[in-house]
Amino acid sequence: MEVIIRPDADAAAGLVARIIAKELRANPHLVLGLATGRTMESVYRVLVRMHRKGGLDFSLCSTFNLDEYVGLALSDPHSYRHYMNEHLFQHVNVELRNTHLPNGQAPDLDAECRSYEAAIAKFGGIDLQLLGIGRAGHIGFNEPLSAFKSRTRVKALAPLTLEQNAEFFGGADKVPRRAITMGVGTILESRRCLLFATGAEKAGIIAKAVEGPITSMISATALQLHAHCTVVVDEAAASCLEGSEYYRRIFATEPEWEEFRNLD
Ligand code: GLP
């Protein structure tokens, strides 16, 4: 795992977008795993700008989102399909038929989960998986006790997750109780993971995810087992990390980060 600390949320989002852009330029057929949530909005804003002003080309790439609420229509403004259309897909030249999210309205949800896994396999697996982190430490909707070998499945949302998403739905009682999510095992099979978090409210959970003991109570700790996981945080989200001096030195001196250093 490598941890990159940027001075503020914009600089951190800019770095995440540049890492994605670099991978996409190196492999135009990139299979990109995408995430939702407030934090990601700033990354998608930068990617849209890079497409408009820098010609970043999404025409050959395919995408797989981590998760979707059960029971919401694709057109529902709270659905993650709607979120992705609004924040990214309709502003770049990705082929909509190459964008995938689980269908939370499928009549047979277990079959939907199996076919989502099959689709990821058919596209050759995920090259780069973008991840946010919930306040309880979930990645996707892998709530506490999610098995590290879990695959795409239906998951009941934890109380803290319902609370965290309440403002979007006008109250915790209106948040769907279940979601389809890629499993921790599915995520760990991606060739590279890129976890992005900003703000002081994420500082405690980021320290646990990165430096704490591996536990299925905090699914993000599974990323410590991944061979190529980059964590990008701003100063606020980094404030509880014990090893930050070491992480800063790596970013400041290691050659692989040179091209990303002077961008703020
Ligand atoms: C939801 C998503 C997660 C995301 C999390 C964080 O729970 N299912 O994938 O990481 O929100 O959201 P935010 O960026 O709004 O804190």
For residue 202, give the ligand 1 atom closest to its CA. 16
Nearest C-alpha neighbor of 215 from the set 228, 227, 224, 226: 224
Domains and CATH numbers, the chain: 2-261 (3.40.50.1360)
The whole-chain average pLDDT of the chain stands at 97
Which atom of ligand 1 lies closest to the CA of 39? 14
pLDDT for position 259:
94
Nearest of 77, 95, 112 to residue 32 by alpha carbon: 95
Rounded distance from Cα 37 to ligand 1 centre (Å): 4
pLDDT band, residue 264 (cuts 50/70/90): low
Question: Which residue in this structure is represented by tokens 């700790």?
Answer: 221
C-alpha angle with apex 231: 187 to 78, nearest 5 degrees? 60
Answer whether 36 contacts ligand 1 (Cβ < 6 A).
Answer: yes
The yes-or-no verdict on residue 39 having pLDDT over 70 is yes
Alpha carbon distance 9, 201 (integer Å): 13
- Of 138, 152, 205, 233, the one to substitute when testing ligand 1's pocket (max ligand atoms within 8 A of C-beta) is 138
Start-to-end CA distance of the chain, whole Å, equals 23
Residue 50 has pLDDT above 80, yes or no: yes
What is the average pLDDT across 192-214?
98
Compute the average pLDDT of residues 110-121.
98
Res. 74 pLDDT band, cuts 50 70 90: confident
- The pairing of beta strand 153-156 with beta strand 62-65: unpaired
